[in-house]
């Protein structure tokens, strides 16, 4: 078997073959049994694909069969943009030539990979540069997996050693719950013990509040959930997130309240603070009225400007003041540090207009 790095530079020559990276361990085992191979080879294949382990060599017969039946293509790096804070943004080319962005973010000796779930996005949020693209198409499971592998492989190369497995946030291009089946399948593969073995609590999915997709979360592994709230006032949220007109915040919160949470697990409510828009006393009060009885953590994010945006970024002092207002209402509140803004890699800045 080749290593991941060898596959990532292998040109695609068999467009019709299914991707090996779309298979769960169980599906791979079924394939092996169907073709008269032992299912116990499945874990060895998984370790070779996802951990670059080659403790046990596969027979030429199995290797030949896999190459005949599956595509090992990974997205190709079109461009790399590096920020002074260590953030790396990848512009990746997919098989059909569509482009998508993935971000590698450093956090206290541990990295997080921000994954996209779609090319573009249908939500058209006014604060988000991706929304200006519109939705081009949903990503397939193997394209979501592929983003992670390309970014992780890059990290291994620049580190000179095998770093800890990065966390995952579905906060890149697209609304993950507008593409729930492919996102769920990718999460199941990410958490396979013989593969990357990423724990569910190492994975965070952020949604703008797409209610039909939120209902799918009951069937997901018990990952961390973040809601892009940004205002507890429907009129303001309607401007920021147009789908709020169809799925108002009260209905979304009602559905989120149904999700089972572990003892120390909270729902994260992301609040993009915009100067002179949602940073007033009434905004803090409405937020407290909405969330004071919930297992909630407020994640304050200073708005990140992008070309053509009419919103303004608040001053650091304003963010701290708003945090104190929320704390006075006994809301658990954190401030998310902006990463990669100068290369348009921060929250709401991804865009791959062609």
SS3 of 207-265: ECCCHHHHHHHHHCCCCEEEEECCCCCHHHHHHHCHHHHCCCHHHHHHHHCCCCCCCCC
- The reply to whether 64 and 91 lie within a common domain is no
Q: Which of 121, 125, 128, 347 is catalytic?
A: 347
Q: Is the pLDDT of residue 328 over 80?
A: yes
Average pLDDT over residues 155-172: 90
Q: Bigger pLDDT: 305 or 276? A: 276
- The reply to whether 106 and 58 lie within a common domain is no
Percent of the chain scoring above 70 in pLDDT: 90
Number of domains the chain contains: 2
352 is a domain residue: no
> What pLDDT score does 115 carry?
97
238 is a domain residue: yes
* Catalytic residue list contains 128: no
Q: Which of 69, 86, 111 is the last residue of a domain?
A: 69
354 is a domain residue: no
Q: Is the pLDDT of residue 340 over 80?
A: no
61 is a domain residue: yes
348 is a domain residue: no
- The reply to whether 48 and 153 lie within a common domain is no
Six token digits for residue 122:
């249908």
* Catalytic residue list contains 347: yes
Check if the beta carbon of residue 353 is closer than 8 Å to that of residue 314: no
Highest mean pLDDT among 11-20, 161-170, 338-347: 161-170
Show the domain range for 49: 4-69
Q: Is the pLDDT of residue 354 over 60?
A: no
Q: Which of 6, 57, 101, 128 is catalytic?
A: 101
- The reply to whether 249 and 317 lie within a common domain is yes
- pLDDT bin (cut points 50, 70, 90) of residue 352 is low
Q: Is the pLDDT of residue 157 over 60?
A: yes
- The reply to whether 244 and 99 lie within a common domain is yes
- The reply to whether 113 and 48 lie within a common domain is no
């Amino acid at each position: 078997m080749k290593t991941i790095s060898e596959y990532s530079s292998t040109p695609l020559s068999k467009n019709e073959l299914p991707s090996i990276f779309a298979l769960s361990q169980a599906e791979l085992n079924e394939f092996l049994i169907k073709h008269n191979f032992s299912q116990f080879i499945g874990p060895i294949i998984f370790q070779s694909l996802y951990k670059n382990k080659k403790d046990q060599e596969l027979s030429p017969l199995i290797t030949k069969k896999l190459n005949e039946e599956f595509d090992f293509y990974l997205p190709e790096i079109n461009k790399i943009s590096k920020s002074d804070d260590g953030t790396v943004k990848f512009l990746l080319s997919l098989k059909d030539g569509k482009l998508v962005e993935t971000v590698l973010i450093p956090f206290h000796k541990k990295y997080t990979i921000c994954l996209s779930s779609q090319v573009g996005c249908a939500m058209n949020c006014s604060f988000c540069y991706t929304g200006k693209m519109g939705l081009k198409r949903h990503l397939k499971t193997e394209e979501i997996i592929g983003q992670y592998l390309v970014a992780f492989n890059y990290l291994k190369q620049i580190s000179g050693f095998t770093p800890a497995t990065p966390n995952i946030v579905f906060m890149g291009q697209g609304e993950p719950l507008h593409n729930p089946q492919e996102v769920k399948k990718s999460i199941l593969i990410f958490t396979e013990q013989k593969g990357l073995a990423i724990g569910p609590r190492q994975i965070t999915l952020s949604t703008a509040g797409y209610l039909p997709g939120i209902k799918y979360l009951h069937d997901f592994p018990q990952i961390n959930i973040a809601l892009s709230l940004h205002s507890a006032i429907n009129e303001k949220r309607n401007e920021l997130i147009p789908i709020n007109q169809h799925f108002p915040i009260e209905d979304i919160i009602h559905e989120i309240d149904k999700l089972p949470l572990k003892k120390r697990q909270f729902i994260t409510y992301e609040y993009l603070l915009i100067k002179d828009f949602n940073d007033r006393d009434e905004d803090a009060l409405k937020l407290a009225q909405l969330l004071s009885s919930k297992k909630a953590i407020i994640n304050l994010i200073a708005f990140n400007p992008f070309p053509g945006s009419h919103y303004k970024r608040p001053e650091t002092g304003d963010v701290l003041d708003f945090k104190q207002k929320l704390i006075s209402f006994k809301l658990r509140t954190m401030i998310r540090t902006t990463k990669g803004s100068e290369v348009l890699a921060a929250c709401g800045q991804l865009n791959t207009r062609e």
